[in-house]
Structure 1
Amino acid sequence: MASHNLQIRDKDGFSFHYRPGTADENQLDFPLDMFMIPEYRIWPHHVVVDVGGHIGTFAVPMAKKVPRGKVYSIEPGKESYSILEKNVLLNGLGNVSLHNLALTDYQGTARLYHAPDNETWGDSITNPEGEAEEVRADTLENFLEENNIEKVDFMKVNCEGAEFEIIQSSTKDTLSKISLLLILYHCDYNEGQTEQSMIEHLKEKGFRVWVREKEGERGWIIARNKKVFHLPTLRQVRFMMKNLIRKIVN
């Protein structure tokens, strides 16, 4: 994989090192809050896990939103991880814990493939196309234990196919530590897996599940832990108030 000369781009009050002429630029064109789903009511003390950190366009702004909490950002690609480190430092963030590894269903090493038609974006351990590098592999259960994480308020998973291995290999005890999940699933990168198989697994583990942004074999799955009390979001409060007013008027 070719090395790149970095440039810096400012966006929404943050600064990011990026690789010009690559998919990094496309990523910076997206809104930084694109993964801030309405089901998630954020609080300053929250603990957030970012699986698939890339160059930090999720972890960096999220760290500002949880000043008394912590963001754990996981990125397996060595070059992307190096840029992620630079961007955390560039923005002066002290509450981000960075981890250069791939989560999957075993501990050891894995081959991370760099998609030839999607340079710097779409690295995958389940889609064997393009050049590859060897990276450390770990399970979600072991990662949480090693980092003494007892509760995760929000976990974003965007890891190009490995989401099935990560979630489906996790025990109910492990997943019970997570209040809210956003999973970007890629069935085309994981033969034999389906949206429904992920949904059924999450339901069996005690989650209420929704599907959004579905397109072909990809989409977003939102899973909320049924045993965790969730304060209503502002949008939900407004909806309830409208219904209440409508009932009173009628």
Structure 2
Amino acid sequence: MIARFRYYLSSIPTILGQIRNWYVCFGLLLTKKPTIIMLKNGCRFKVRNVMDVWIIKETCLDRDYETHATPIQNGWVVIDIGAGLGDFAVSVAYEHPACHVYAYEPFPESFRLLEENIILNGTKNVIPFPAAVGATSEPMTLFTIGTAVQHSTTSASRHVHSITVKGLSLDDVLETNAIPVCDFLKMDCEGGEFDILFSASEATLRKIRHICLEYHDGVTKFSHADLVDYLQKRGFHVRTAPNPVHNHLGFLYAFRSPGDVI
């Protein structure tokens, strides 16, 4: 409880100091009308609610995926699985115009917001795909809950609605885009990380230099410990970091030594 309180309290200066129009957050508490927040680095994002702002805070301001992994370099090929409103994909593309970012988001509402935020920031180096990534390239069921960021292809236990979405395997993501090497694979897919990585071929995994994902324990029969073991056996160095608030969440970073990538 104390750690949770400290985390939320420490987030206030970040929001006030790095969001130019932070005061619009109060409006989001009172109405569901979308608005645009402006970051001090020049990025702008259309958001639907306070949860969207919090995601941007963690991804773009705290830079969770790079803090727990490695700084992204200009010119890298980046794949974003679970792109949501485009917080990670757009911020990477905005700061690194020579990067090529492939962003996958299956939920229609979030995908439209992703497209809007790409246009809003002029990040033409983001290529968006309205699809989920999973075990195979077949249609998938996306189970939905109250907030878009919690939609999942892995379990219907807490979900009340579902839609059918296009599905792609990680193998086909690399093959259809003719990606010889993925420099950075980011994943936030509510438990889908297990199916995606466990089903990927050895050849595909050897093409990936860095992986940073948010793991979700308790959603499937697997835990992040299974991912650690699986990736280590396939030549990755792995480290993890727990979420400061939720015990079932955390970050996993896997990387290969120079020369180990095809």
Query: Structure 2 matches for 1:39-78, cutoff 5 A?
Result: 39-78=69-108
Cα contact 2:68–2:253 (8 A) shared by 1: no
The answer to which of 165-174 and 10-19 deviates more is: 10-19
Aligned pair partner of 2:239 in 210, 219, 224: 210
Cα contact 2:81–2:189 (8 A) shared by 1: yes
Unpaired runs of 5+ in structure 2? 1-31
Aligned to 2:17: none
Aligned-partner Cα distance in 1 for 2:57–2:257: 35
Q: What is the identity percentage for the equivalent residue pairs of Structure 1 and Structure 2? A: 28
Aligned pair partner of 1:168 in 168, 178, 198: 198
Flag the structure with larger Rg. Answer: 1
2:119 is equivalent to residue 95 of structure 1:
no
- Describe the SS at the equivalent of 2:85: coil
1:229: Cα distance to partner?
7.2
Query: Structure 2 matches for 1:159-238, cutoff 5 A?
Result: 159-190=189-220, 192-214=221-243, 215-228=246-259
Q: How many residues align?
A: 223
Aligned pair partner of 1:127 in 147, 150, 155: 155
Cα distance 1:102–1:31, how it changes in 2: closer, same or farther (>3 A)? closer
Aligned to 1:15: 44
Cα contact 1:63–1:70 (8 A) shared by 2: yes
Normalised by the length of structure 2, the TM-score is 0.80
Give the AA of the match of 2:204: T
Give the AA of the match of 2:248: E
Cα contact 2:66–2:72 (8 A) shared by 1: no
Structure with a larger share of its residues in helix = 2
Normalised by the length of structure 1, the TM-score is 0.83
Cα distance 1:39–1:17, how it changes in 2: closer, same or farther (>3 A)? closer
Aligned-partner Cα distance in 2 for 1:169–1:229: 20
Cα contact 1:212–1:220 (8 A) shared by 2: yes
Unpaired runs of 5+ in structure 1? 231-250
